């Protein structure tokens, strides 16, 4: 499984649980309730399926080195029809903005990539793995920009990008630490119980 698909795995797992519950309901089989809700909204179902298909289609375009097509396909998720902004929808949108940011940076559009990160952060406002990932992507973008500026002889700009990269990575680490702490009630090594 490519790295991109692995990052999308939590959404796929949630979708699988919801679909399983739908099938069980239609066939009369007994199944445990889905993760998100006991009532499956057909619009949510369609949106999650569309998002998953778009990411798979973008995988193909990216493998073909067609970054522009990959971005266009993913925009079907961020700009197309969608359900109301539930936490699940926000996560899918934030994750998709993170991927578009990565693609735009690969294509040399660093300003566009930063805008995508900002759009994602506007959606993932609470500490979560999705918000932490957006900060990580921001750090990678700044790293790539640093290398580009350094190659062009702009040492001042490269140094500034390096500092922004360090700040973004620090934010990613602290966000993920808080996410873990909220989930299991510990910070630092498991069982230490130290507050964040």
Say which residues have a Cβ less than 8 Å from residue 9's Cβ, sequence separation at least 6: 1
CATH of segment(s) 41-184: 1.25.40.10
Mean pLDDT, rounded, of the chain:
83
pTM of this structure = 0.76
Whether 26 shows a pLDDT value over 50: the answer reads no
- Please state, for a pLDDT cut of 70, what percent of the chain lies above it: 74
Give mean pLDDT, residues 110-124.
97
Whether 196 shows a pLDDT value over 60: the answer reads no
**DSSP state letter for 143:** H
Phi, psi of 44, rounded to the nearest 5 degrees:
-60, -45
Q: Provide the b/e sequence for 171-189 (b: ≥16 CB within 10 Å).
A: bbeebbebbbbeeeeebee
Q: What are the residue boundaries of the structural domains of the chain, listed by start? A: 41-184
Give the pLDDT score at 190: 54
188, two tokens: 């630092």
Whether 161 shows a pLDDT value over 50: the answer reads yes
* Contact in structure between 117 and 134 (CB atoms under 8 Å): yes
Whether 101 shows a pLDDT value over 90: the answer reads yes
Give the pLDDT score at 188: 58
Query: Tokens 């002889």 sit at which residue?
Result: 153
pLDDT digits (tens, 9 = 90+) for 43-88: 999 999 999 999 999 999 999 999 999 999 999 999 999 999 999 9
């Amino acid at each position: 499984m490519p790295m991109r698909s692995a990052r999308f795995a939590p959404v796929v797992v949630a979708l699988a649980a919801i679909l399983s519950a739908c099938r069980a309901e239609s066939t009369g089989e007994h199944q445990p309730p889905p993760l998100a809700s006991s009532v499956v909204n057909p619009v949510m179902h369609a949106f999650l399926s569309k998002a998953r298909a778009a990411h798979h289609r973008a995988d193909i375009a990216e493998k073909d080195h067609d970054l522009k097509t990959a971005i266009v396909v993913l925009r079907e998720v961020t700009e197309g029809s969608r359900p109301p902004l539930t936490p699940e929808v926000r996560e899918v949108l934030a994750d998709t903005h993170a991927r578009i940011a990565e693609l735009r940076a690969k294509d040399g559009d660093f300003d566009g990539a930063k805008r995508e990160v900002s759009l994602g952060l506007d959606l993932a406002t609470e500490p979560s793995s999705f918000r932490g990932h957006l900060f990580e992507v921001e750090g990678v973008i700044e790293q790539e920009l640093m290398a580009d500026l350094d190659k062009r002889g702009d040492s001042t700009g490269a140094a500034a990008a390096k500092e922004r990269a360090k700040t973004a990575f620090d934010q990613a680490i602290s966000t993920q630490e808080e996410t873990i702490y909220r989930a299991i009630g510990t910070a630092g090594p498991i069982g230490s119980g130290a507050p964040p």
